[in-house]
Amino acid sequence: MLILTIFITAIYTLLIGAFIVGFFRIKSFNRSKNTPENSFSIIIPFRDEAENLLELLNSISKLDYPNSLFEVLLVDDESIDNGSDIIETYNKQNPTLSIRVLNNDRKSKSPKKDAIETAIQKSTFEWVITTDADCNVPKTWLLLFDNFIQENNPKMICAPVTYKVKNTFLEQFQLLDFISLIGTTIGAFGIKKPFLCNGANLCYSKKVFSEVKGFEGNNSISSGDDIFLLEKIFEKYPIDVRFIKSNESIVITKPEITLNKLFQQRIRWASKTSMTNNGFGKFVGMVILLMNLLAIILLISSILDISSSNYLFWIFGAKFIIDYILILKTLSFTNQLKSILFYPFIAILHPLFIVFVSFLSILKTPVLWKNRQIYD
């Protein structure tokens, strides 16, 4: 048992250490004075998002980019609230913006993938950007993507997302859990092993989307419009899938408001990761699960046998420190350093959360998403 414990801890420490190194390898990207050249179709699937749509549209209206070079395609996925009416009213009040509402053309078991494909088929411009209806986009969003495309000629650009949180424990817990994913995402790009991205801030060309046949092959899985597409494009163009490391490109979204909704969301996320063909991503997931499971086992052992507490101290200490470094650097990047104060308390509970969510996803527990029962 001791040898296994040391082995798992060593692998975990080396893995997170590699992500920290990778995080620093990705150079920060700064805006240039290049004249805007690229045109974008912003695609936003939505379902019962009336409370969020106005805030999203207001952020889009403030974009520092020529209105003639972008359009907004909002895809209504069978909403039963007045979201479409809100968009229509906003459209009349802002005639200089190109905003269209489309009805989702359902073809598969994945409403969001269907919505994106519906919009792509009716889009005008070459570059597609996806985000979510509960997000706010930064003023420099399109300008940064344009500059990055001009300077790097990528096929796909993955970009950062974070939460806007208050000082409640639940929201801070979600932020630090999410921040660990952001840090891992950036770090994985830095070591040239990307396996995560976020569809709330993702850009790719329609041409490459067509080349890899879009979501074909995984549209029977309800979620994963982001990581499955990343996997396909990276396989075909490994040096042309890039991460834009700029805090001016960060899209802000909202945390879940209840613990139950948080579990539902994270189970859905965990289940899609296990269904990818990315061997490295599965390896990372397994190592993280084993390390957190080990921490729980050692905690129970130390309660039953005080002599085991030394193992718990050293193993948990190693995990605490290496996680702290990655989270601290990522919080600094997202300008949310104050949240590190919650880390000691959240670090104690996080292994329970990870193990619980992981096992529920392995058991293929059905989840409720947007008032739909999801079975992946």
Parse the chain into domains and list their residue ranges.
28-172+194-256
DSSP-derived 3-state class of residue 12: helix
Residue 28, pLDDT score? 96
Residue 302, pLDDT score? 75
Q: Which residue has the tokens 């695609």?
A: 43
Separation of alpha carbons 275 and 109, rounded Å: 15
Separation of alpha carbons 295 and 316, rounded Å: 6
Residue 118, pLDDT score? 96
Taking CA atoms, 351 is separated from 160, 292, 296, 358, in Å, by: 24, 5, 7, 10
Taking CA atoms, 367 is separated from 114, 228, 270, 301, in Å, by: 19, 20, 12, 33
Beta bridge partners of 156: 204, 241
> Is residue 229 within 8 Å of 198, Cβ to Cβ?
no
Reading the chain (376 residues) residue by residue, the pLDDT tens digits are: 678 888 999 999 999 999 999 999 999 999 887 789 999 999 999 999 999 999 999 999 999 999 999 999 999 998 989 999 999 999 999 999 999 999 999 888 888 999 999 999 999 999 999 999 999 999 999 999 999 999 999 999 999 999 999 989 999 999 999 999 999 999 999 999 999 999 999 999 999 999 999 998 877 676 778 999 999 999 999 999 999 999 999 999 999 999 999 999 998 888 777 678 889 999 999 999 999 999 898 888 777 766 666 767 788 899 999 999 999 999 999 999 999 999 999 999 999 999 999 998 888 777 767 766 665 5
Beta bridge partners of 136: 252
Residue 334, pLDDT score? 97
Q: Any residues with CB less than 8 A from the CB of 337 and at least 6 apart, and which?
A: 328, 331
Q: Which residue has the tokens 């479409």?
A: 84
Is the domain defined by 28-172+194-256 classed in CATH 3.50.50.60? no
Buried-state track 30-50, b at ≥16 Cβ within 10 A, e below 16? eeeeeebebbbbbbbbbbbbb
Q: What is the pTM of this model?
A: 0.94
Amino acid identity at 136: N
CA proximity to 159, closest of 206, 204, 205, 202: 202
Residue 220, pLDDT score? 66
Separation of alpha carbons 242 and 228, rounded Å: 15
**In the chain, how many H helices and how many E strands?**
12, 11
